[in-house]
Amino acid sequence: MVLAGCTPLTPVQVAYTEMTGRVLAQDVVATEDVPPFSNTAVDGYAVRATDAEQVPVELRVVDTLAAGAEPKIAVNAGEAIRIMTGAPMPAGADAVVMVEDTQRVGETNVLISRSAKVHDGVRDAGSDVHAGETVFVPGTVMNAAGVGVLASVNARTVRAFPRARVALLEGQPASIIDQALKTRIFFTAGGAELLATMKANGAYTALVSGGFTAITQPVSQHLGFHEHHANQLLVDHGVVTGQVSDPILGQQAKVEALERLTAQLSITAQDVLAVGDGANDLGMLKRAGSGVALHAKPSVAAQCDIRINHGDLTALLFLQGYPRSAFRTAV
């Protein structure tokens, strides 16, 4: 009865890479077969099953076919084609013998040591998903595996429901952000020393958040970050709409920010100290040379080699080898 009185949130377009943990607001229908063609499920040799019924048997190798390559010739009687996992099945072949069951003989032949039956080692077109098949329905909560399926059916953007924490702000005056900054946002101890000390020693600092620019902008300005990035909370005539502008900044956007900054500064990811506490930080933390889980959720901390569970932000200075005597409070 309570849910009957609730109004569904207005869906927004979301990139498939940002769909982990999001709730779908549409059917997702495959537009083509997955895989789109018959292909090999193993590395080996594409053969005619009739040629490999009686083993051992020696066949002539007439070509090599890599994954993604188009077959150029057919397999005729007494022939085989060296084939890699995922490559399209060449005409004439109806089975694949695993490479472990073969042995090359000279430059042109291969010895087949295990018999093959029709369809051995072959994935049919559409064996995963058929064209026209509905793979997801509205209300599906997407996990990492589901995001992979979205990619496989070429659903690059989908409609999803906004996250509740954003929608709850709908209808609130924009001044609520200023009130939050004054009464609800507190700076973690050690932040000023961390930024000042690192900047004084030539570090470039960036704040990349899954929150809102209305928060990160004053925080960045107060602490002295070189740049900041977050989601843009939409406001219409002084009223919060409960939506954010696309694209939504999530886990992938943080990885992309790291890659952009390393290229801009002519450094590598190994030179980066990245700090985070949530699941959407993991991609960035794993990519950086020093990825630090700072007071992080247990599931996040468990995936990071460097964890700080106690102390304030100056712990990150000690981590880098700065003695307390080197701490700065202003650049």
> For residue 167, is pLDDT > 90?
no
Check whether residue 155 and residue 192 sit in a common domain. no
Q: 88-97, 203-212, 246-255 — which is least confidently predicted?
A: 246-255
> For residue 205, is pLDDT > 70?
yes
Q: What percent of the chain has pLDDT over 90?
A: 60
Check whether residue 192 and residue 246 sit in a common domain. yes
Quote the pLDDT of residue 3: 41
Quote the pLDDT of residue 279: 82
- Is 63 a domain residue? yes
Helices (H), the chain: 144-152, 164-167, 175-183, 191-200, 213-223, 251-265, 282-287, 298-301, 315-319
244 lies in which domain range?
175-326
Check whether residue 93 and residue 72 sit in a common domain. yes
Check whether residue 318 and residue 304 sit in a common domain. yes
Burial class (CB in 10 A: 0-12, 13-18, 19+), 142: buried
- Is 168 a domain residue? no
Q: What is the CATH number of the domain that holds 254?
A: 3.40.50.1000
Mean pLDDT for the stretch of residues 222-234 = 90
Q: What percent of the chain has pLDDT over 70?
A: 94
- Is 308 a domain residue? yes
Last residue of a domain, one of 161, 183, 207: 161
Check whether residue 224 and residue 254 sit in a common domain. yes
Read off the pLDDT band of 251 (50, 70, 90).
Answer: confident
> For residue 173, is pLDDT > 80?
yes
Quote the pLDDT of residue 1: 37
> For residue 247, is pLDDT > 80?
no
Check whether residue 17 and residue 119 sit in a common domain. no
Summarize pLDDT for 177-189 with one digit per residue, the tens: 888 888 877 788 9
Read off the pLDDT band of 2 (50, 70, 90).
Answer: very low
Quote the pLDDT of residue 166: 66
Check whether residue 191 and residue 57 sit in a common domain. no
Q: 39-48, 53-62, 134-143 — which is least confidently predicted?
A: 134-143
Mean pLDDT for the stretch of residues 116-120 = 95
User: Is the preceding omega at residue 218 within 30 degrees of 0, hence cis?
Assistant: no
- Is 70 a domain residue? yes
Q: What is the CATH number of the domain that holds 151?
A: 3.90.105.10
Check whether residue 27 and residue 77 sit in a common domain. no
Copy the structure tokens of residue 222: 């107060």
- Is 66 a domain residue? yes
- Is 331 a domain residue? no
- Is 73 a domain residue? yes
Check whether residue 219 and residue 316 sit in a common domain. yes
Check whether residue 183 and residue 320 sit in a common domain. yes
User: Is the preceding omega at residue 35 within 30 degrees of 0, hence cis?
Assistant: yes
Summarize pLDDT for 66-112 with one digit per residue, the tens: 988 999 999 999 999 999 999 999 999 999 999 999 999 999 999 99
Q: What is the CATH number of the domain that holds 48?
A: 2.170.190.11
DSSP character at residue 35: S
Number of compact structural domains in the chain = 3
Check whether residue 241 and residue 187 sit in a common domain. yes
Mean pLDDT for the stretch of residues 200-223 = 91
Check whether residue 15 and residue 92 sit in a common domain. no
- Is 153 a domain residue? yes
